[in-house]
Amino acid sequence: MRYAHSDGTVWSIEQQDKQLVIETGGKQSVRKFVSAAHAEVQLAKLVGDKLAAGFSEAAPVERTPDPPAAPPDDLDPALVAQIVADPYDAAAFAVLADELMRRDDPRGELCARMAAAEAKPTRKARAAVEAWLVECADVLLGGIGDLLDLGAYDEEPLIWRHGFLHRAKLDFPAPSELAQILAHPSSRFLVELELHGATPELVAVLASHPLPALRVLELQARRDVGDLGPVWTAMPQLRRVRVVARAFTVGALALPHAERVELVARILPASVVHAVTAAAWPMLERLTLRFGGFRTFQRDTPRGDDAATFDDVRPLLARADLPKLTHLRLVRGFAAPSAVAIATGPLAAQLVALDLSGDSFDDRAAFLIAQERARFGKLKEIVVMDNALSPAGRVALSNVANVVDKLEGIVLGDHLDTLQAIDVPMERNAGWDPTDDDRYDDVTE
191-440: CATH, from 3.30.460.10, 1.20.1560.10, 3.80.10.10, 3.30.230.80: 3.80.10.10
Query: Is 4's pLDDT higher than 90?
Result: no
Predicted model pTM: 0.77
Q: How many CB atoms lie within 10 A of CB 206?
A: 24
The top-scoring range by mean pLDDT among 52-66, 257-271, 289-303 is: 257-271
- Render the burial of 256-274: b for 16+ CB within 10 Å, e for the rest: eebbbbbbbbbbbbbebbb
Work out the pLDDT band at 294, boundaries 50, 70, 90.
low
Where do you find CATH 2.20.140.10 in the chain? 2-58
User: What type of residue is 429?
Assistant: N
Superfamily of domain 2-58: WGR domain (2.20.140.10)
Mean pLDDT for the chain? Answer: 84
In the chain, what percentage of residues exceed pLDDT 90?
60
Could you report the per-residue pLDDT of 193-203, keeping only the tens digit for each? 999 999 999 99
Predicted confidence at residue 2, as pLDDT, reads 80
Q: Do residues 188 and 161 lie in contact, with contact meaning Cβ atoms separated by under 8 Å?
A: no
Beta-ladder partners of 336: none
User: Mean pLDDT throughout 131-136?
Assistant: 91
d(CA 159, CA 195): 14
Tabulate helix, strand, coil % of the chain (nearest 5). 35, 20, 45
Could you report the per-residue pLDDT of 260-279, keeping only the tens digit for each? 999 999 889 999 999 999 99
Residue 145: burial class (beta carbons within 10 Å; 0-12, 13-18, 19+): middle
Where do you find CATH 3.80.10.10 in the chain? 191-440
Least confident of 69-83, 162-176, 261-275, 359-373: 69-83
In the chain, what percentage of residues exceed pLDDT 70?
83
In terms of Cα–Cα distance, which of 355, 337, 356 is closest to 345?
337
